[in-house]
Amino acid sequence: MATAPAKVALTKKVLTQYLASDAKRLALGRQIDELERQLKPVKEAISAHIDQVGGSDRTTTHHGFVLSATESLGQPKYKDAFLAIATEQEKADLEANRPTVRKIHVAPEVK
């Protein structure tokens, strides 16, 4: 059962804090986007290195770091809304064609 929204008095102070917090949230989101852009070529290089020398377990060590990759089935953001209106065949097609998501892991080598 859904809970009722919290009772908040919309005072000038609360609205001012909301505005400041929302601006901070947006700025942090832009910082995250920029970091993702900077990390993308490094992630791609790590992924290629793992593919080249990682073996069947997709794990290798390099310069004192353990590099590994895991793959799992992704879930499109629209999946729940789509499933609510999709036919059985469309649901089966979506499930059969789920994208694969690859995550790269880097950790110091434990000796």
Is residue 19 one of the residues assigned to a domain?
A: yes
Do the domain assignments include residue 92? no
- The answer to whether position 42 is within a domain reads yes
**52 pLDDT tier (thresholds 50, 70, 90):** very high
- Look at residue 4 and tell me if it is in a domain: no
Single pTM value for the model: 0.66
| 58 in a structural domain | yes
- Specify the pLDDT at position 96: 79
Does residue 28 fall inside a structural domain? Answer: yes
Instruction: Report, as an integer, the average pLDDT of 17-45.
Output: 96
Note down the domain range covering 21.
12-74+100-108
Q: Looking at the domain assignment, is residue 81 inside a domain?
A: no
Query: Helix or strand or coil: residue 35?
Result: helix
77 with 37: CB under 8 angstroms? no
In angstroms, the first-to-last Cα distance of the chain is 50
| Domains held by the chain: number | 1
The residues, any chain, with a CB within 8 Å of residue 41's CB and separated by 6 or more, are none
